[in-house]
Chain A
Amino acid sequence: MEKYRRIINADLIASGKRNSTSSAMIALVIVMLAGSLYASPMFLTMITFILGSVLTTLFFASNGYHNEKLFCLLPVERKDVVRARFIFLTAVFTAVNAVIYIIGLIQVKTGFLLAAYFGAAAAEDVDILQYLTNRTDILDKTGLYNVSFAFAFAVSIIVMSHQLKAYIKDNSVYDFSAAKKIKKSDIIGAVIALIIIIIVLGDVTGILPVGKGISTVVLPVLSGMLTVANGSIFCMSAIMIAVCHVTFIWVCTELNYDSKDIQ
C-alpha cells in the first residue's frame, strides 16, 4: 500500500504545481457536499451522477504527460500506477457518496428537510419522495431513497471507471485540442449500438422478440428484489454488479497499460 500512497501523493503534488486541477477537484467535492445540504434527498442521486461523470475529468484534465513523468520519478511498475489511480478515485468517490448518502438518509429518517430549512428553490421538490411513496406499496421512503441512491451510485462509478480507463489508455483523451480519430473502441461502440437497434427492431416487428424475453425474465426479478427487505436486495445487487464491472475495467486497464512498456 505504501507505493500506492506515494503515487497518489505524487499525482496530487504534480497536478497542484502545474495548475489548480486538484484544487478544482477538491472544490467540486466541497460544492457537492454543500449541495447535498441544499438538495432534497431524491435530488442527491443527481449529485452522485454529476460527481461520477466529472471527477475523473477534473482530476486528469490537461495532464498530458503526467503518466510518463510519474513513471520516471518513482520506482514503481506501470500496473501500480493504474492500481493507485483506481484505488484513489474509487475511494474518493465512495467516501464522498457515503457522506452525501448519510446526509440524505438523516433527512429521510427525521423528516427534517434541510433544503426546506434553507428555503431553496429545490424545496418545491422536497416532497417528491413522499409523492412517489404515496403511489406505491412496495417501498417506503427509506427504501425508495436507498434504491435510487444505490442505482445512481452503481451507474456513476461504472461511468467513472470507464473514463479513467480511457484516460490511462490514451491520455490524449482529455487533451481537447487534439483531433479525435476513430478508434477500435468507437467501432465496438457502434457495433453494440447496432445490436441494440436490431433487438429493438426485432421486438417491434416480432421477428426476434429478444427484448421482450429480456424484459419478461429480468423485470420480474428486479421488481421482486425491490419488494423484498425494502429494496435491500436490489441495492446489494446493483452495487455487486458495479463492483464486478469496475474490477473488469480495472483489469483491462492494467493489462493495456502494462503492455505498453513491453512494446
Chain B
Amino acid sequence: MKKYIKRIAAALCAGIMLADIGGTAAFAEENGQNIPDITIPSGDSLEKFIHDTDDALREVDGNSPSTAAAVFQGDEILYEAYRGCADIEAGIPADENTVYEWGSITKTLTWVSVMQLWEQGKIDLDKDIREYLPEGFFHHLSYDDKITMTDLMNHRGGWCETTHALFVDDESELRSLGDALQEIEPAQTFRPGEVTAYSNYGAAVAGYIVERISGMDYCDYVRQNIFEPLGMEHTAIGPDHSDNEWVLEQRRQLRSYKSTLSGEYADIGHKLDFVTIWPAGSATGTLKDLVTYTQAFVDDDAPLFRNRETQEFMLSGSSFYGESDVPSCCHGLWPMERGVRTYGHSGGTTACRTDMEFDPVTKTGVVIMQNSISGNYAITTIPQAFFGELEPGKYGEPAGKADMSGHYVLSRSIHSGMFKFYGAMNTAILNNNFYDLGNGLMQLKTEDGKAAELHGLSEYEGRKIMQAVSIDAIFDRFFIPKLLLFAGYIFAAVISAYILLVKIKLVKYNRYKKFKGSAVITVSEILKIVSLLILMISTGFAISNYLSLSDALRVLTGVTQMICMAVFAASAAVSCAGLAKKSESRLITLGYAANIAGSVICIAAILFFEMYKFWGC
C-alpha cells in the first residue's frame, strides 16, 4: 500500500513539475522565447518580474482598455504583452498593430532633432533663441533675459500655461506651426533659466526652430532623420497623421476610455483630436516602434546621432537640483531616481497614456502604452518593479528635516490672464517628510520608509522652491491675502444676492423706499452676481476642454467683467456721495458703506486676478 502511495505521490509531483514547465514553456512558446536567466535593475530575476507583471495585467481583459507593455535589453525584447481592447464594444483586442498616441514623448523627438543640429554645428544651445526666430516673434515676454535652447529643454523658458486650445477636434482649424505658436503664446511669468515650469509651448518653439534651421518642415525632418534611419515605419508625426496612411487607418479604429467612480470604464469615443502645436505631442505609433526608438538611446552605436559623444552629452545633466550634481533634466529627457537612474519621458493626450524609460548602464528599458486617459497602475508600477526604488540614504544621510511649511504655487499653472485665480488658489501644501541632504537636495521618504524620492531645494526671487523633474512648487507668502480677496469677491456676490432678495420682498410689500443712488447700487448688486456667474460658466467650459476657452467666450467674459468694474466704480462713487450727505436712515448709511466695501473688493479682485484680460493669454 505504501509502495502505491509513494508511486502515486511521485507521479503527482512529476505531473505538477511537468505542468509548471509546460506552463512556462507555454508562456515561452506564447512569447516565442525562453526567459533568460538575468537579474533586472531592481535586483529581482527577470522571470519573477514577468510572472508578477503577467499576474498584475491579468485583470486587463476583454472588458478593459488596452495596455501594451514591453521590456528590452539592448536589441533583445525580454517581454512583450498586449492586454485588453483597442475597442471594447467591437471586441477588437490590442495587438502589435494597435497604435497609440505618444503624447509628450513626442517632445523627445524634438530634443533629439535639436541635438542632431547641435552636433552639426547649426545651433548653439546657449544662444538666445530669438536669433533663430523671426523678428518680434514673442509678444508676451516679461523679461529681457535671453532664453536659450537649453532653457527650452529644461522647461525654464519662464512661460506659464495658456487657455488657448492645445487640442482641436477639427483638422481644418490647424494652422502653420509659426502661426499657431503666435496665437497660442502664453505669458512669461518667471525669469528664464530659474524656474522649471513644464511648457508645451516651449517645446513647440524648439520644434519651430528645428524647421527654420533645417529648412525642412518639422514632420519631414523627424521622418527623415529619426524614423527612417531607425526603420520606424508604423509611426506618424503629423498632427493629422496624414504622413502615414497606415497609422491613420489604425488610429481611426482605436477608442479611448476613462475610469469611473464605480471602477468601470466609460467609452469616450475615438478622441481623434489634433495637436495645434505638434512638436509638443503629435506622434502616434505602435509599441514596437516606440521600443525601437527607446532602444536607440542605449545603443552604443548611437544610431540617432553621428557621434556617440552626442548621445552621451544628451544624457548628461542640463539642469540640477539646488547646488548638487544630481540632474533634474538631461537635455529634455527626465532622469528618474529609482533603484538605478533611468531616463525617459511620459506622455498623455486626450486619448492615451504612455511611458518610456531606459537605463543606459544596463541597456534596459520599459515602454508602456494605454488607450485610457485615466491610465492604470501599470504605467507606474511596471517601471518601478523593473528598475526598483530609490533607497533612502543613497545620496547621503539627511542633516535634518527641511521646513517646507506653507502654501506653494505650482509653476505649471495659469499665472496670467482671466484664469489667474486658478493658479493662485490651487496651491499645494507639502507634507513635513522632506529631509535635507545638503547642497539643495531633499529626500522624501515613502510612508514605510523603505523608498524615497529626490527633490531639489532652491530659491526664486527670495522665495523657497521645491524642485521636481518637470515642475517647481514656489512658496507663496501672499497666499492668505489673495485667498481673502478672492473669497471676498465671492462673498460680495452672495451678500448682494441676499440684499436683492430683500429688496424684491420690500417692493412686493410696498415697503421699498428709494434713496439717492439706489438704482445704480441695485444694478451694481446685480452685476456682482453676474460677474461671479460668468466667471464660473467660463471656468466650467475651460475645465471641460482641457483648460482652453473659445475666443467668443473669452471676449464675452472679459468685456462683461470690464462693464461690471465700471458699474462697481460708479456705485462706489454714488455711495461715497451719499455717505458725505449723511442720510437720516442708519440702514441706508449702512447700505452705502456695504456697497462701497463690496464694490472695492470686487474691483480689486477683477484687476488683481485679471478677469477682464480676454486678450493675449
Which residues of A approach B to under 8 Å, CB–CB? Answer: 137-138, 203, 206, 208-214, 216-218, 220-221, 224-225, 227-228, 233, 237, 240-241, 244-245, 247-248, 251-252, 255-256, 258-259
B535–A217 contact, CB under 8 A?
Answer: yes
Given A216-B422, A217-B539, A221-B483, residue A240 in contact with residue B502 (CB < 8 A) = no
What A residues does B483 contact at CB under 8 A?
A: 221, 224-225, 228, 233
Whether the pair B543, A233 counts as a contact (CB closer than 8 A) is no
Whether B432 pairs with A137 at a CB distance below 8 angstroms is: yes
Given the contacts A138-B429, A248-B501, A255-B506, A237 and B540 also touching, CB distance less than 8 Å: no
Known contacts being A137-B432, A210-B537, A213-B536, is A244 close to B543, with CB within 8 Å? no
Q: Are A255 and B544 in contact (CB under 8 A)?
A: no
Is B523 among interface residues, defined by CB-CB distance under 8 A?
no
Contact yes or no, B502 A224, CB < 8 A: no
The reply to whether A255 and B509 contact each other, CB–CB distance below 8 Å, is yes
One of A208, A210, A221, A247 near B487 (C-beta < 8 A): A221
Residues of B494-522 whose CB lies within 8 A of A: 494-495, 498, 501-502, 505-506, 508-509, 511
Q: How far is the CB of B512 from chain A (nearest CB, A)?
A: 10
- How far, in angstroms, from A206 to B545 measured CA to CA in the complex? 10
Contacts of A213 in B (CB 8 A): 535-541, 543
Cβ of B63 < 8 Å from any Cβ of A?
no
Beyond contacts A224-B427, A224-B487: 8 other A-B pairs, Cβ-Cβ < 8 A, are: A137-B429, A206-B544, A213-B536, A221-B490, A228-B483, A237-B487, A237-B491, A255-B509
A224 contacts B425, C-beta separation under 8 Å:
yes
* Cβ of B408 to closest chain A Cβ, rounded Å: 11
Say whether B491 contacts A251, CB under 8 Å.
Answer: no
Which residues does chain B contribute within 8 Å of A210, judged by CB atoms? 536-537, 540
Alpha-carbon gap, A237 to B494, bound state (A): 11
* Complex interface: chain B residues within 8 A of A228 (CB): 479-480, 483
A240 in contact with B544 given A210-B536, A214-B536 (CB within 8 Å): no
Across the interface, which residues of A come within 8 angstroms of B539, CB to CB? 212-213, 216-217
A233 to B538, CA, bound (A): 27
CA distance A209 to B495 in the complex (A): 24
Across the interface, B540 reaches (CB within 8 A) one of A214, A227, A247, A255, namely A214
Enumerate chain A residues within 8 angstroms of B536, measured Cβ to Cβ.
210, 213-214, 216-218
Report how far A233 CA is from B506 CA in the complex, Å.
32
Cβ contacts under 8 Å, B407 to chain A: 224, 227
The 10 lowest CB-CB distance pairs between A and B, nearest first, are A213-B540, A209-B540, A220-B425, A213-B536, A213-B539, A212-B540, A209-B544, A224-B483, A255-B509, A248-B498
Cβ of B594 to closest chain A Cβ, rounded Å? 11
Contact: A225 with B498, CB < 8 Å? no
A251 to B432, CA, bound (A): 49
Q: How far is the CA of A209 from the CA of B508 in the complex (A)?
A: 34
Check if A220 sits within 8 Å of B426, measured CB to CB: yes
Distance in Å: Cβ of B601 to nearest Cβ of chain A: 14
Q: CB of B431 within 8 A of chain A?
A: yes
A222 to chain B, nearest CB (A): 9
16 contacts between A and B (CB under 8 A): A137-B429, A203-B540, A209-B541, A212-B539, A212-B544, A213-B541, A216-B543, A217-B539, A218-B536, A221-B490, A224-B483, A227-B407, A227-B429, A233-B483, A248-B502, A255-B509
Are B425 and A251 in contact, CB atoms less than 8 angstroms apart?
no
Closest chain B residue, CB of each to CB of A250: B502
- B482's nearest neighbour on chain A, judged by CB, is A224
> Binding site of A, secondary structure by majority: helix, strand, loop or mixed?
helix
Q: Does B486 contact A (CB under 8 A)?
A: yes
By a CB distance below 8 angstroms, the chain A residues around B431 are 137
Chain B residues lying within 8 Å of A259, measured Cβ to Cβ, are 509
Q: How far is the CA of A209 from the CA of B535 in the complex (A)?
A: 12
Q: Closest residue to B426 on the A side, CB-wise? A: A220
B597 contacts the other chain (CB 8 A): no
Q: Which A residue's beta carbon lies closest to that of B536?
A: A213
Q: Which residues of B contact A221 (CB under 8 A)?
A: 425, 483, 486-487, 490
| Nearest chain B CB to A205 CB, angstrom units | 10
Q: Is B484 an interface residue (CB 8 A)?
A: yes
Which B residue sits closest to A206, measured CB to CB? B544
Task: Please name all residues of chain A whose beta carbon is closer than 8 Å to the beta carbon of B537 when the two chains form the complex.
Answer: 208, 210, 213
Instruction: State the CA gap A84–B426 with chains docked (Å).
Output: 45
A residues less than 8 Å from B429 (CB atoms): 137-138, 227
Nearest CB in chain B: distance from A257 CB, A: 11
Which residues from chain A contact B490 at a C-beta distance below 8 Å?
217-218, 221
**Given A220-B425, A221-B486, also A209-B543 (CB < 8 A):** yes
Q: Would you list which residues of chain B between 455 and 501 have a CB under 8 Å from chain A? A: 479-480, 483-484, 486-487, 490-491, 494-495, 498, 501
Residues of A within 8 A of B484 (CB): 233
| Closest beta carbon of chain A to B383's beta carbon, Å | 28
Residues of B within 8 A of A241 (CB): 491, 494
For the complex, give the distance between the alpha carbons of A248 and B505 in Å: 10
Minimum Cβ distance to chain A for residue B139 (Å): 28
B532 proximity list for chain A (CB < 8 A): 217
B506 touches A244 (CB 8 A): no
What residues of chain A lie closer than 8 Å to B543, measured between beta carbons?
209, 212-213, 216
Q: Which residues of B contact A258 (CB under 8 A)?
A: 509
Contact B495 A244, beta carbon cutoff 8 Å: yes
Interface centre among B431, B540, B543 (most CB of A within 10 A): B540
CA distance A43 to B540 in the complex (A): 36
Distance of B504 from chain A, by nearest CB (Å) = 10
The docked-state distance in angstroms from the alpha carbon of A258 to that of B506 is 12
**B495 nearest CB neighbor, chain A only:** A244
Chain A residues whose CB sits within 8 angstroms of the CB of B494 once the complex forms: 241, 244
> Which residues on the A side are within 8 Å of B427 (C-beta)?
224
Task: Considering the complex, give the chain B residue whose CB is closest to the CB of A248.
Answer: B498
Q: Mark B401-437, 1 if CB is under 8 A from A, else 0.
A: 0000001000000000000011001110101100000
Chain B residue numbers with a CB within 8 Å of A216 are 422, 536, 539-540, 543
Q: Which residue, of A216, A217, A245, has the highest number of chain B Cβ atoms within 10 A?
A: A217
Bound CA–CA A256/B543 (angstroms):
43
Cα distance A210–B537 when bound, in Å? 5
Knowing A221-B425, A227-B407 are in contact, say whether A245-B498 is a contact too (CB < 8 A). Answer: yes
